Structure 1
């Protein structure tokens, strides 16, 4: 009798083990189901799709993790999960985005290597009303974060992920009149930096900070420990007296806005460089140079602009 009961118990345990194994196998099978249309920034992630932009995108994750395949895959997996779950991508939230920040982040022209240039004007936060509305409450901070990510998404949509294309941005952040190292501002900036570093790998070719005040150097020490060495190596810092000189290293003078010492004026056809190249000539002190301007039509009025630096 005892032997029969023992056999029944063993049979019951075997059935339980078999059921558990079957359930685990089902979970494993579900885990390996692959979405054949999975894509990121409009680029298919599966090589079987035959899109030449796939390698460009996947390489960004590999570079961000020093070509450690396991770490790169985990980063990609987390990015896809974040994009799936984050409420900030909900189109219904568009109406809730802060209108007062509309001109604080925008694309304008390209650098010498063809990267679109994104300008961030943090001086907009010098207005107390704007600052309090954007960062004065937890709801405002959430809206600010959604706004900045939406702006990044629009800018990434302008990139060319084909081999040899401009697959990253050049960021210019103007700190003139920015609110300084206020606690709320620090938190908001750190949230943006963390999200971009974790979910937009290698999409910024260089970060140029201009009109940098003295307080920034103490401010930046708070963030440096949280940035990867690769990210930190992309930062260029320019004090107010070095803004034009610094920007000229990376952006053609005709593409730099006038307010930063360049020749680009918005909606100004008189000084437009769209129809030809701008000739740049350096005149040394106590010397003279002759500049010839070709007139293509008779009785034409020629207008020229000098940008000293």
Structure 2
């Protein structure tokens, strides 16, 4: 097993020479690091001009390892070799350390570097890389790995504290300035100029030896530029990304470095990278895989241009009951509000299509990312998440329309894959009795970590002084319709008039436009009926208690729907096309010996109707879903007595799109008992 760690750059706002003086005070022992028992210098070499010194030490560590592990290893102390190369002219210190103990069983290598800050000559940067490879360790490989990670994290945190401590100790001793290195016979100012000239000459010589003066100079510049892009300042991480432990810091630096070397497109923001790492438990391989798939998706559908290129249709500006509030929650998160109970799901889908609904959802997510960046700048603290309030008052079975749920599943899928770790808190407010059904259908598609962020209120519980919305949001951020003071700049919602609907041919085309959309025809079947013709679907039920669910839309014309039952087996030739005359005839005509019984009374359905329902089969047998086409003008006396078409015009047709499921009682969770038990789910 191999582990690597790359720490972000840590900055000391102190000159390099002062930091070096503080660093030397750590030896031969360090009271700030108890496990550092002692050290001895094994070799020391200094150049003739005193500019470069190389010191090698043998360090003795009292590792905080379990007693059993020490007993098996047969040691009380662990020895490391440390090689320090101090270049006073270039103002750098390179520290290389590796383990002497158990070198054949595990390899620990660490490289640290102190150097001058590129933007401020009086500041000092510190970088640290580590490599751990465990070959074998008496069967305790996992324990040793955890111990090494724990020790590494502790060393990083303690390392900066130690230097800060000794810097302050020097100041307390009256030391305020340590001059830079000056070769004999040269003033300090001229030494700075000479150092710059020597650096330039040395770099030019190295480039000339490698690839030729011009070409290799460009290569070196690119490498330096590339390295500077992925290096992150620890102060920047704390200020813009939050409090991360050393391993988490290392993972984001590692991911950014990989992207800089392999990804030729624009690199996402550091906050964006952090979200994908969090979603995969800071596993770089899994986070990188998830991120790369998302980057391909964004490029394929030009998501980066969506906020500028896509403008919500007028129907959304008039009827979509959702938008961003002006304030923040108690965590500084932007707040999005949606009056889901007032949303005409079918109307929106029929008016803007699947593609429009997906673009609407993605636009909201993109706006959320922008608002998080704005909140980070305004509040001077990292804001990575946003909050959502879903007002469910008015939620009913019409919101459980199957095509709408199918689109919702796709939206959740897109959200989970491309916007991980963006939802900080979700409030479900004024949940009605039908809510458990919707939650049962939707919750399996939501990531477990996201589900933990849901806060559910039934009735008026959200207005309670303790545990209500005011515990999480200021009154100015709570909409007036929920008892707050905030004005909402978005519509109240309502039923969308059919005049806004897309034409039938366009709506059908929208159902499967591309990979970003959903092919609802794969779920629903369509059938056309003329006057007095039938379409019947036999459903064989083997066990009493089985639940039959049905959902259909009358896209055109009128029909009558009912459910029939017989104890006899019914077969309809599967080879007969749906539009053939055989299937336009009632089963009672094809099989006159059957004794059919109505288990659901006939339901008249007109153009545009949508019906959803369930039937619990109390007996085993064959249940028949029946649709009968009717003439919408046949009931008028005028038409029955004075018809002038004489059969020259084609009879009106009824088009029905339907879907049904057969579920066991365990599978069907949206039962009456679960609805009635919702009162016990209300929580603050």
**Structure 1-normalised TM-score?**
0.62
1:186 aligns with 2:400: no
Deviation at 1:148, TM superposition (A): 1.5
Cα deviations by residue, 1:227-259 (Å, 9 ceiling, x for unpaired): 221111111111132122331121012321221
SS at match of 2:343: helix
Measure how far apart 1:75 and its partner are: 1.0
Q: 2:451 matched to 1:232?
A: yes
Structure 2 CA distance, aligned partners of 1:236 and 1:228?
Answer: 15
- Is residue 358–residue 411 contact of structure 2 (8 Å, CA) maintained in 1? yes
From 376, 387, 393, give the equivalent of 1:176.
393
2:296 alignment counterpart: 81
Q: List per-residue Cα deviations over 1:42-96 (Å, max 9, x = no partner).
A: x2xxxxxxxxxx2x3322112111222211111111111111112666659625x
Q: What is the CA–CA distance in structure 2 between the aligned matches of 1:36 and 1:82, rounded to whole Å?
A: 16
Aligned residue number for residue 340 of structure 2: 122
| TM-score for both structures, normalised by structure 2 | 0.30
**Offset from partner CA, 1:97-156 (integer Å, 9 cap, x none):** 433233533111110111111111223424xxxx4442238x612211111211221222
Matched residue, 2:370: 157
Q: Which residue of 1 aligns with 2:279?
A: 64
Other structure's SS at 1:159 match: helix
RMSD: 2.8
Query: Aligned partners of 1:164 and 1:265: how far apart in 2?
Result: 27
Name which of 19, 35, 38 aligns with 2:266: 38
Write 1 or 2 for the structure with the bigger share of helix: 1
Higher normalized strand content (fraction of residues): 2
In the alignment, what sits opposite 1:251? 473
In the alignment, the residues of structure 2 paired with residue 230 and residue 194 of structure 1 have an alpha-carbon distance, to the nearest angstrom, of 15
Q: Secondary structure at the match of 2:335?
A: strand
Q: Indicate conservation of the 8 Å contact 1:256/1:262, yes or no.
A: yes
User: What does 1:125-144 align with in structure 2 at a 5 Å threshold?
Assistant: 125-126=343-344, 131-136=345-350, 140-144=353-357
Name 2:533's counterpart in structure 1: none
What's the counterpart of residue 418 of structure 2?
199
Cα deviations by residue, 1:250-279 (Å, 9 ceiling, x for unpaired): 101232122111223469xxxxxxxxxxxx
1:105 equivalent in alignment to 2:322: yes
8 Å CA contact 1:122, 1:175 repeated in 2: yes
- CA–CA distance in structure 1, aligned partners of residues 260 and 386 of structure 2: 34
The answer to whether the 8 A contact 1:254-1:263 is kept is: yes
Structure possessing the higher radius of gyration over alpha carbons: 2
Q: Could you say which residue in structure 2 is the equivalent of 1:290?
A: none
Conserved in 1, the CA contact under 8 Å of 2:462 and 2:469? yes
Unmatched tracts of structure 2, length 5 or more: 1-258, 490-684
Matches within 5 A, 1:255-274: 255-265=477-487
Listed as ranges, the matches of 1:208-227 within 5 Å are 208-227=427-446
Instruction: Structure 1 unaligned segments of length 5 or more: list them.
Output: 1-30, 44-53, 268-309
Structure with the bigger RCO (C-alpha within 8 Å, sep 6+) is 1
> Where does residue 528 of structure 2 map in the other structure?
none
Q: Please state how far the C-alpha of 1:184 moved relative to its aligned partner.
A: 2.0
